[in-house]
């Protein structure tokens, strides 16, 4: 499980590095600190990375999600905790998977050929994209709010996620709120095998939307 809260915005192709604390040798069911930083040392994300079933909660699962008064919402007006997100059925072909590899820097051989699980496996970026539900929850033409990511957790439960297997992604809104500069919502989504219903992976994700520039906040 990779669980990160984004603390500083970066631009496309900006050079960053990921840092993970080394666990004790031979450790199982372990969770360690993880973060990412720019060349100048500016931390851009912080959280945890775990393998197996550690006793501790992941970084994002340990946070208390607090929703705001619905009357405070403008950009996300009408959205509430528990709302279902539009489900999605997905089948990633090997051709499509390899096209997606152009946008990531760290490649595994298992992304392009056979793996110990049979078919090729999908990258964390691809897994996130499969479960990135909720775009229908925002009226972009009306709000014209600039979106950006606030946090992401990707958890392999009965993974890995494989190429060539039909999946179905479902999810719900977990939190809707307002901060000084943004409105935001958290989603909890699951990925299941379409035929068997087996839960394979999940994500927790936060999207933020800038108040500045939105006509809904012209009076602020």
Query: Which pLDDT score, from 0 to 100, does residue 117 have?
Result: 95
| Distances from the Cα of 173 to the Cα of 27, 130, 186, angstroms | 35, 17, 6
List for the chain the helix, strand, coil content (%; round to 5).
15, 35, 50
* Closest to 173 measured CA to CA, from 30, 73, 55, 40: 73
Can you say whether the dihedral through the CA atoms of 93, 95, 97, 99 is positive or negative?
negative
CATH number of the CATH domain containing 85:
3.10.129.10
Q: Which domain holds residue 15?
A: 1-63
Claim to verify: residue 57 and residue 137 sit in the same structural domain? no
* Distant-in-sequence, close-in-space partners of 198: CB < 8 Å, separation ≥ 6: 158, 192
pLDDT at residue 220 tops 90: no
Claim to verify: residue 178 and residue 79 sit in the same structural domain? yes
pTM of the model: 0.93
* 5-9, 92-96, 142-146, 181-185: range with lowest mean pLDDT: 142-146
Claim to verify: residue 90 and residue 199 sit in the same structural domain? yes
Claim to verify: residue 82 and residue 163 sit in the same structural domain? yes
Number of domains observed in the structure of the chain: 2
């Amino acid at each position: 499980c990779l669980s990160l809260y984004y603390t500083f915005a970066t631009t496309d192709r900006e050079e960053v590095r990921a840092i993970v604390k080394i666990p004790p040798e031979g450790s199982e069911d372990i969770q360690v600190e993880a973060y990412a930083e720019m060349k100048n040392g500016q931390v851009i994300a912080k959280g945890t990375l775990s393998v197996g079933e550690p006793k501790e909660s992941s970084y994002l699962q340990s946070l208390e999600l607090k929703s705001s008064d619905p009357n405070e919402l403008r950009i996300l007006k009408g959205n509430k905790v528990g709302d279902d997100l539009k489900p999605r059925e997905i089948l990633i072909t090997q051709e499509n998977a390899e096209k997606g590899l152009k946008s990531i820097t760290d490649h595994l051989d298992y992304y392009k050929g056979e793996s110990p699980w049979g078919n090729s496996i999908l990258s964390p970026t691809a897994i996130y994209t499969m479960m990135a539900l909720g775009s229908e929850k925002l009226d972009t033409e009306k709000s014209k709010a600039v979106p950006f990511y606030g946090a992401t957790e990707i958890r392999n439960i009965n993974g890995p996620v494989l190429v060539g297997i039909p999946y179905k992604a479902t999810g719900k809104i977990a939190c809707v709120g307002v901060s000084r500069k943004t409105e935001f919502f958290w989603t909890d989504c699951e990925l299941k095998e379409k035929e068997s219903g087996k839960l394979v992976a999940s994500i927790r994700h936060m999207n933020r939307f800038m108040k500045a520039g939105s006509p809904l906040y012209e009076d602020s």
